[in-house]
Amino acid sequence: MTYQRGGELMKRITKIKENESLAIGKKLRVAAYCRVSTDSDEQMVSLEAQKNHYESYIKANPEWEFAGLYLDEGISGTKKAKRTALLQMMKDCEQGRIDYIITKSISRFARNTTDCLEMVRKLIDLGIFIYFEKENLNTGSMESELMLSILSSLAESESVSISENSKWAIQKRFQNGTFSISYPPYGYKNVDGEMVVEPEQAEVVKFIFAETLAGKSSSAISSELQKRKVPTRKGGNWTPTTVRGILSNEKYVGDVLFQKTYTDSHFNRHANYGERDQYMMQDHHEAIISREDFKAAGLLINQRAAEKGILKGTGKYQNRYPFSGRIICGECGAKFKRRMHSASKVRYAAWCCSQHIDDISKCSMMYIREDAIEQAFVTMMNKLVFGRKQVLKPLLDALRETSRTDGLGRINELESRLEKNLERRQVLMGLMTKGYLEPALFNQENNELLAEAAQMNTEKENLSYTINGELTRTEEVSSLLRFANKEEMLTAFDGDLFEEYVKQIVVCSRTEIAFHMKCGLILKEGV
């Protein structure tokens, strides 16, 4: 390619990547990707046919070198994270082992528009293109991403349609009670589609219910099972959560509650707390536990949960105590737990490092009395009230004076550059479409512009985050100053006030703690 400069005819030299040219005699390393969505015999035959086709097809081309077949068997195309072969192929591309990819169709490659475009763009950045046979589409020569976006969107719609049809069929089986439970809970096994009791495991289930009704906690029961080396179904450890899961499973009385979970439009699974219809079938199979014992155990669990402030349906604690989840060990980083201690027949609340409780050798941090922490908070807040003019007022003024003009100006500059970047890419596309620009040169320059745009977008997002963070901190300091300006000294601990202004407490030692305020201040107090 030549161009004019100062009346002289000048030559333009363009660097061509190694995998973009076959002129030097190096063969193109070509891989194929195949996927079937089920592990049925019919689909496996289809997969085998695909394997044979691609292997012979690639090896038949004298300019190609066979780089391998990547196969995902019995895996849905909606989630790339579950497709190990696809992820391995992407990794091999990043490591420079593949130059070109062939696959049957966009729907085989990805049924999610976002995933498809993300992977294609990543591969283009690496100088690697994909050929989709069914659509006759080559990412190295397509005019724009528009066609790929449209086709992958259609593939995604197809996937949603298939999913909805499957859901409808499953729901009908829920309604008429014909749905087969593929993975029965501990204590049962699947025999020809029927739930059958496993005697040894059933005895463990009975033990768990008996111990619960005797007053033992889930933690104590799981510890006892671990001590006895009772195996779990998958060979893992017994935990309080596992025990509670057994105690709340209606299948142990012979009933089945269908549709405990559901899948949303983004193919993410959620627990069903009333968002979808549920179907209860009584006496579906042989019971292990009587209905009376199951009900009694359920009442005990609910009572303990209420005492601990656990929100039903979430398994998460309410903030029954202001300090819950907010005290961090300065030695090991673990959270502190509330426990009741006794001294000279006087009971008092104390907060203890959970790591220290489990294993004293891993953390030496001792407990701190709750009333000492409360008093430290009162002292700290009163110091802020007294010294508000020396601490809070200068901090607020400094934050307000910190100009965000530079940040906003840089964002405006980046937006302008992004517009110009887009215009340049559009010009390049037009030149290539009209045949004035070679595809190899277009890909090189277009990839450079795409990389530049990605870098600018990242900087823009980081600047926006920083500016928003400064605004939040200014608001928090302003709120704290408004409280301090009231000049009202605290005489007792105020839990609401603590939750409003304190992010967390870090225990430095048994005699010193640090209040990490939401406004960014870190204030230490003795305890």
Q: Helix, strand or coil for residue 465?
A: helix
Q: What angle is formed at CA 75 by the lines to CA 69 and CA 77, rounded to 5 degrees?
A: 90
What is the reported pTM?
0.36
E strands along 215-316, which residues?
A: 256-258, 261-263, 269-271, 279-281
Number of other residues whose CB lies within 10 A of the CB of residue 371: 13
The CATH number, out of the four listed (3.50.50.60, 3.90.1750.20, 2.40.50.100, 3.40.50.300), of the domain defined by the range 188-308: 3.90.1750.20
Nearest to 104 by CA among 77, 127, 122: 77
Q: Report the distance separating Cα 527 and Cα 523, nearest Å.
A: 13
Q: Helix, strand or coil for residue 139?
A: coil
Nearest to 326 by CA among 518, 476, 475: 518
Give yes or no for a contact between 519 and 480, defined as CB atoms under 8 angstroms apart: yes
pLDDT along the chain (527 residues), means of 10: 49 46 67 74 64 86 90 60 83 93 78 67 86 79 50 46 45 48 79 84 93 85 90 83 88 75 51 56 84 88 64 50 91 92 84 91 92 95 90 79 61 85 87 82 86 82 63 80 88 89 93 91 91
Token look-up 């595809």 returns: 439
Q: Report the distance separating Cα 522 and Cα 114, nearest Å.
A: 42
Q: What is the pLDDT of residue 365?
A: 93
Q: What is the pLDDT of residue 416?
A: 87
CA distances for 191 relative to 41, 182, 187, 483, angstroms: 21, 10, 13, 68
Q: Report the distance separating Cα 166 and Cα 418, nearest Å.
A: 44
Q: What is the pLDDT of residue 504?
A: 94
Q: What is the pLDDT of residue 367?
A: 93
What ranges do the domains of the chain cover?
25-160, 188-308, 327-388+490-526, 394-484
Q: What is the pLDDT of residue 526?
A: 92
Which strand (E) or helix (H) includes residue 245? helix 240-247
Helix spans in 315-438 (H): 354-358, 370-386, 392-401, 405-433
Q: What is the pLDDT of residue 1?
A: 47
For 15, half-sphere exposure in the C-beta direction (CA atoms, 13 angstrom radius) is: 4
Q: Are strands 188-191 and 129-132 parallel, antiparallel or unpaired?
A: unpaired
CA distances for 73 relative to 37, 49, 70, 79, angstroms: 7, 13, 10, 14
Q: Report the distance separating Cα 472 and Cα 462, nearest Å.
A: 15
Q: What is the pLDDT of residue 38?
A: 54
| Rg of the chain on CA atoms, in Å | 32
Q: Which residues, 6 or more positions from 378, have their beta carbon under 8 angstroms from its beta carbon?
A: 490, 491, 492, 493
Q: Helices 113-125 and 146-176: crossing angle, nearest 10°?
A: 140
Topology (CATH) of 25-160: Rossmann fold (3.40.50)
